[in-house]
Amino acid sequence: MLKCRDVPAEAEALLDGELSLGRRVALRFHLFMCGNCRRYLGQLRLLLGAVPQMHGQASDEEVDQVLKRLHDHSH
């Protein structure tokens, strides 16, 4: 499980478009659970501007689908 201290490095890789699907899911799942990191990433995105399109990688919809499945299993 991703820890808060791991989020900055993962977020940088995400913004660089270098994050694999599995790591993106882990990051999104952490952000889903953790308001602090959500706020952190929101500020990072504001600082850096819009996140560039990540061609050839999993779409946000695909990540959301995986997250939704994870969420369903946790109940």
Residue 51 in contact with Zn ion, rule: CB under 5 A: no
**Terminal-to-terminal C-alpha distance of the chain:** 18
From the list 12-20, 36-44, 47-55, 65-73, the region that binds Zn ion by CB under 5 A is: 36-44
Q: Residue-wise over 4-15: b if at least 16 C-beta within 10 A, else e?
A: eeebeebbeebb
The backbone torsions φ and ψ at residue 35, rounded to the nearest 5 degrees and listed phi first, read -65, -30
Choose, by CB under 5 A, the member of 26, 34, 54, 70 that binds Zn ion. Answer: 34
Instruction: Find the shortest distance in angstroms from Cβ 30 to Zn ion.
Output: 6
Residue 4 in contact with Zn ion, rule: CB under 5 A: yes
Binding stretches for Zn ion (CB under 5 A): 4, 34, 37
